[in-house]
Structure 1
Amino acid sequence: MYIKKFALIAASALALMAGQAMAGETLDRVTSSGKLTMSSDPEYPPQSFLNDSNEMDGFDVDVGKEIAKRMGVELAIVTPSWEVITAGGWAGRWDMSVGSMTPTAARAQVLNFPAVYYYTPASFAVHTDSPVATLEELNGKVIGTCGGCTYDAYLNKDLEIDAEGAPPFEYQVTAGEIRTYETDTNAFDDLRLGDGVRVDAVFSALPTIQEAIKNGYPLKVLGEPAFYEPLSVATDKGDDEFDAKIAEIVGEMHEDGTLKALSEKWYGVDLTTVE
């Protein structure tokens, strides 16, 4: 049975923030300039990537474009590193992150998460030549993942996902060594060199692994997903009006089926709900 938490999340966030609303510097800047600036990753397909026309494309990019459209402004995209985005204190360099970010307790100290827009399964993958067939066999292995992300936190057994609607999970793998990378693609590049050449496995979003396989990477997915992540639009702290507007728009996109259609376009399935 599917649990549709997004409407409750968006409505609750909107009600809370509307009650606390104050003059919004970010919202004023966006509306007066006619431009909404979003941070993104150029190497995170199918969420965000540079297409053959050298333009940003992907699920997250389409979500950002739709948010800007409903605000009545143009979308601009910048590509700072993930560590810089999650550190907060953006100082107006960009206005929001639609970057498949999990709203963890640690991140909530420096960022706000006004609207969950989809959920994604986190999975392990090995080289097609690997004899490893179960998650248990990954114990003690060298596992590659993105640095400073939720997959890194999971491998360090320090992951806290406290967003409403997040399913519970257990730590099923104890890595012998965790090798971190700037992007998931870099981890895939090392694994494609061969089983155990640099890493024994990678840990990433299942849709990202599947996209890599579709693009010729010799990977195979192991077992069931380790956990499901609620993924949210992120904003810098300090503008409740802007957060309320984001929550309102994303709530509408859930209700009218826009997010479902975008998910099916990029993933072939509806990831806007979880089982």
Structure 2
Amino acid sequence: MSKFRTFAAVASLAVASIALSTAANAGAVLDRVLATKTLTAAVATDWPKQSFLNDNHELDGNDIDVVKGIAKYLGVELKFVTPSWDVIVAGNWEGRWDIAMGGMTPTKARAEKFSFPAIFTHLRSVVVVHKDSKAEQLSDLDGKTVGANLNTTDEYYVRHTLKPEWLGAKPIEFKFTPGEVKTYESYTTGLADLRLGDGVRLDAFVMSDVAAKDAIKAGNPIKQLGDTLYSAPGAIATLRGDKEFDDKVAAAIKSMKDDGTLSKLAIKWYGVDLSAE
């Protein structure tokens, strides 16, 4: 056999091998979910109103109710795992969960690892400061120490690296330039540092407006500074590569939108319909 023929044969086998491999992997997540009759969802335990442990030490919140609706649509049981957000956005899931809640913002950079089959919420972020803070406007935070949750759009905003790359995004204005940025695993730990006093560990903390209102209502010695920093859509996240699974998730969310469930859940948890922009 000539060198050319040998090369052509090897190339044909390689193409066939890739095609077979792709076909074998297509639908792998959906096949696993349906075969085990279980959808495994990664959720947080300390994001109030989104996903948290209630007084009975059970997972509760809007994210929890939404993913329950997805499992019901698929006709499977629901299993929860609670990795840190940092682990979720790293993308090394290795089959430990099938879907991630948390309202991940579908940025261009994240789309290299993840698919975003459906947007189910819209989040607005604000700045909170200690009640004794002398800051009167957001620009007063220039050069100050500002906190945000790790690997979130809030952190990217504070670091001035957030790019509005999602559909319908509006230009983002960075309204202050911190001298130092501190990152946290949750609102709980960030607010704990802010409660210590103005400038003790933090001068300000960036968080969702809903969580900020709840924290103020709960008696935290904090206040909101200025208006909304930015708003962004929150999506269901899956790993890239299983269109069949993504299509099922998208259909589940569409069904919940069409029958009003998504809107009712948002109003139940947030007091306002955050399922719509």
Q: Give your verdict on TM over 0.5.
A: yes
Count, aligned residues: 255
Q: Which runs of 5+ in 2 are unaligned?
A: 1-22
* 1:79 aligned onto 2:79: no
Describe the SS at the equivalent of 1:86. helix
* 1:226 aligned onto 2:229: yes
* 1:55 aligned onto 2:51: no
What's 1:118 paired with?
A: 121
2:198 to 170, 195, 203: 195
Q: Return the letter of the residue paired with 2:84.
A: S
Q: 1:161 Cα deviation (Å)?
A: 3.1
What's 1:214 paired with?
A: 217
Q: 1:93 Cα deviation (Å)?
A: 0.3
1:1-275 alignment runs, 5 A limit: 23-274=26-277
4+ residue segments displaced more than 4 Å: none
Q: Higher relative contact order at CA 8 Å, sep ≥6: structure 1 or structure 2? A: 1
Q: Distance in 2 between matches of 1:185 and 1:71?
A: 34
Q: Distance in 2 between matches of 1:166 and 1:255?
A: 24
Describe the SS at the equivalent of 2:125. strand
What's 2:9 paired with?
A: none
Q: Is the 8 A contact 2:26 2:241 kept in 1?
A: no
Q: Distance in 1 between matches of 2:168 and 2:153?
A: 17
Describe the SS at the equivalent of 1:38. strand
Q: 1:49 Cα deviation (Å)?
A: 0.6
Describe the SS at the equivalent of 1:241. helix
Q: Distance in 2 between matches of 1:257 and 1:57?
A: 20
Q: Is the 8 A contact 2:164 2:172 kept in 1?
A: no
Describe the SS at the equivalent of 2:154. helix
Describe the SS at the equivalent of 2:161. coil
CA deviations on 1:141-182 (whole Å, 9 max, x unpaired) are: 110111111111111111123221333321111111101111
CA RMSD between the two structures: 1.6
Q: Return the letter of the residue paired with 2:236.
A: V
CA deviations on 1:63-102 (whole Å, 9 max, x unpaired) are: 1111111111111110111111011131110000111211
Q: Is the 8 A contact 1:143 1:179 kept in 2?
A: yes
Q: Which runs of 5+ in 1 are unaligned?
A: 1-19
Describe the SS at the equivalent of 2:181. strand
Describe the SS at the equivalent of 1:220. strand
Q: Is the 8 A contact 1:89 1:236 kept in 2?
A: no
What's 1:16 paired with?
A: none
Percent identity of paired positions between Structure 1 and Structure 2: 47
